[in-house]
């Protein structure tokens, strides 16, 4: 009897082991796996027409072609996929880097009344304008170029410091001339970065776009926080502040990119051993800081090294099929802002993996996409709130502000709850409950809020 039981156990172990080896080497990929592994097609035939490469070469020496420099940076990385991030530090690529923090390029940006500060003849940014003129010219060139994110399949990200400094200087120079000129520049800036948000194929570019959009929106909000506002802002402001569209919300390509890179990294490790660096791209920490994300947020969605055992990869084809199901579900959930993102273990337990596959690879790594999904909802909330700063300026003697917030239309409701935005009569602020979805009375530490000018925040007789 004992020998029979041992034989049964050995046969079971053999079958499990055979299934594990077979799944590693022979399983055909599913249609879903193939779809997620297929890279996006390029629509820009001539690389030097692509503004993405200008972003990479933004700090190249004066007199050089920054687009060509950016393309050279990208080509070097493409020749050694998954091995390292973009090399932005070679001689000739750093000469125009900002010698100061980008906040010091346009110190008036965060003023309580930025329009008045911009139009001051002694404004500090006027001294920065000639000093950083080459960067500003390149930024304006970028705004007028086609854009396609060719960072798909790479681990690098453009430097954001020069980008932020040039973007602010470009807008400030316009408002320094007159409000109409500044608003035209702001409109061009917002339109460009919203197109980048739609077209982003990598997570870092998606978040950079959200950061710059919010930077523009916050500036406009400060201009609208006064009783008297230039008519250009009131007439054209709403056209600049439309809520995010489903395509702008979508994380499809950034998620596919991480899935594809994780899979290819595991195959590379199997063939050559774990020889690749796990460090984040140098620019990702800066992007995370500017976006108010955890410093390791990008690392939390990057697949770690594949371990090996028993002569086969611990992450076999069936494991990656389970991951493809999870990633596909995550993409769909992220496009519906009120849907919770799926949990990996809920999906993994329904996969076709064998007992030994589950034992060898328990799929302990679960990508943390929630911070990035929530970050885009925050961007949408700020767009809607600043729109309400304009809409709530229309005088009324009988309707309370909460009633007006309920009647203004669902496109201006809080994207975190699907309910009307809230009003704090004590703080005189309109606010969204933010990612914790708790009403903290407009406290800016937890809620997302904007001020309503005093003349329009006074309670009506009806209230």
Single residue among 329, 345, 372 that ends a domain in this structure: 372
Same domain, 407 and 328: no
Same-domain pairing of 378 and 367: no
Instruction: Specify whether the backbone of 311 is left (phi greater than 0), alpha (psi in -120 to 50) or beta.
Output: left
**Is the model's pLDDT at 74 over the cut of 90?**
yes
Q: Does the residue 453 lie in any domain? A: yes
287 plus 179 within the same structural domain: no
- Rounded Cα distance between 90 and 70, Å, is 12
Residue 272's SS3 state is: helix
Distance CA 207, CA 241 (A): 18
Q: Is residue 21 part of a domain?
A: no
Q: Which of 331, 352, 372 is the last residue of a domain?
A: 372
Same domain for 64 and 192, yes or no, is yes
Same domain as 366, residue 285? yes
Same domain, 122 and 177: yes
**Whether residues 346 and 378 fall in one domain:** no
Residues 268 and 391 in one domain: no
Q: Which of 195-209, 295-309, 431-445 has the highest mean pLDDT?
A: 195-209
Is 248 within the bounds of a domain?
A: no
Reported as a single tens digit per residue, the pLDDT across 323-373 is 899 999 999 998 887 778 888 888 777 666 666 666 666 777 889 999 999
User: How far is residue 73 from each of residues 91, 260, 343, measured CA to CA in Å?
Assistant: 12, 22, 37
Give yes or no: residues 261 and 143 share one domain.
no
Mean pLDDT within 88-101: 93
Judged against a pLDDT cut of 70, whether residue 313 lies above it is answered with no
Q: Are residues 227 and 310 in the same domain?
A: no
Task: Please state the domain count of the chain.
Answer: 3
Say whether both 84 and 187 belong to one domain: yes
Residues in the chain: 463
Which of 344, 372, 400 terminates a domain? The answer is 372
pLDDT tens, residue by residue, 271-311: 444 444 444 566 899 999 999 999 999 999 998 765 544 44
Overall average pLDDT of the 403-422 stretch: 94
The arithmetic mean of pLDDT across residues 393-418, rounded, is 88
Domain coverage including residue 361: 256-372
Provide the whole-model pTM: 0.89
| Residue-by-residue DSSP string for 345-372 | HHHHTTS---HHHHHH---------HHH
Whether 34 is covered by a domain: the verdict is: no
Closest-CA residue to 365 (of 416, 427, 299, 428) = 299
Question: What is the pLDDT, as a whole number, of residue 273?
Answer: 46
Tell whether 403 is covered by a domain: yes
Residue 226 domain flag: yes
In a domain, 251, yes or no: no
On whether both 359 and 380 belong to a single domain, the answer is no
Q: What are phi and psi of 429, to 5 degrees?
A: -135, 140
- The answer as to whether 38 is a domain residue is no
């Amino acid at each position: 009897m004992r020998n029979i039981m041992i034989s049964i156990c050995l046969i079971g172990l053999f079958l499990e082991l055979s299934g594990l080896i077979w799944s590693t080497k022979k399983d055909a990929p599913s249609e879903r796996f193939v779809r997620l592994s297929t890279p996006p097609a390029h629509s820009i035939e001539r690389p030097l027409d692509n503004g993405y490469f200008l972003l990479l070469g933004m700090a190249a020496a004066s007199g050089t072609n920054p687009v060509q420099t950016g393309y050279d940076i990208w080509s070097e990385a493409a020749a050694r996929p998954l091995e390292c991030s973009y090399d932005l530090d070679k001689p000739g690529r750093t000469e125009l880097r900002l010698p100061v923090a980008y906040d010091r390029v346009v110190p008036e940006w965060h003023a309580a009344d930025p329009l008045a500060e911009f139009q001051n003849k002694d404004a500090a940014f006027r001294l920065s304008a000639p000093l950083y003129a080459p960067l500003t010219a390149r930024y304006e060139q970028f705004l007028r170029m086609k854009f396609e994110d060719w960072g798909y399949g790479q681990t690098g990200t453009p430097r954001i410091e020069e980008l932020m400094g040039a973007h602010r200087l470009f807008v400030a120079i316009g408002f320094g001339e007159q409000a109409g000129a500044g608003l035209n520049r702001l409109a061009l800036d917002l339109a460009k970065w919203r197109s980048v948000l739609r077209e982003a194929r990598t997570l870092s570019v998606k978040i950079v776009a959200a950061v710059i959009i919010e930077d523009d929106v916050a500036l406009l909000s400060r201009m609208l926080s006064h009783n008297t506002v230039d008519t250009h802002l009131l007439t054209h402001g709403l056209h600049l502040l439309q809520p995010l569209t489903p395509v702008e919300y979508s994380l499809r390509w950034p998620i596919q990119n991480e899935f594809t890179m994780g899979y290819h990294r595991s195959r590379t490790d199997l063939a050559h051993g774990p020889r690749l660096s796990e460090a984040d791209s140098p620019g990702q920490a800066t992007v995370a800081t500017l976006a108010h994300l955890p410093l390791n947020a990008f690392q939390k969605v990057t697949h770690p090294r594949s371990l090996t055992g028993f002569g086969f990869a611990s992450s076999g084809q069936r494991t990656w099929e389970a991951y493809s199901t999870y990633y596909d579900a995550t993409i769909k959930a992220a496009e519906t802002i009120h849907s919770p993102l799926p949990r990996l273990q809920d999906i993994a337990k329904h996969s076709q993996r064998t007992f030994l596959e589950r034992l060898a690879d328990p799929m302990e790594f679960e990508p943390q996409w929630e911070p990035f999904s929530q970050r885009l909802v925050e961007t949408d909330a700020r767009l809607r709130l600043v729109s309400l700063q304009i809409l709530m300026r229309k005088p009324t003697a009988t309707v309370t502000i909460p009633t007006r917030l309920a009647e203004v239309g669902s496109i201006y409701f809080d994207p975190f709850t699907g309910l009307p935005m809230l009003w704090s009569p004590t703080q005189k602020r309109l606010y969204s409950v933010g990612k914790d979805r708790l009403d903290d009375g407009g406290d800016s530490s937890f809620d997302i809020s904007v001020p309503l000018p005093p003349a329009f925040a006074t309670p009506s007789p009806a209230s």
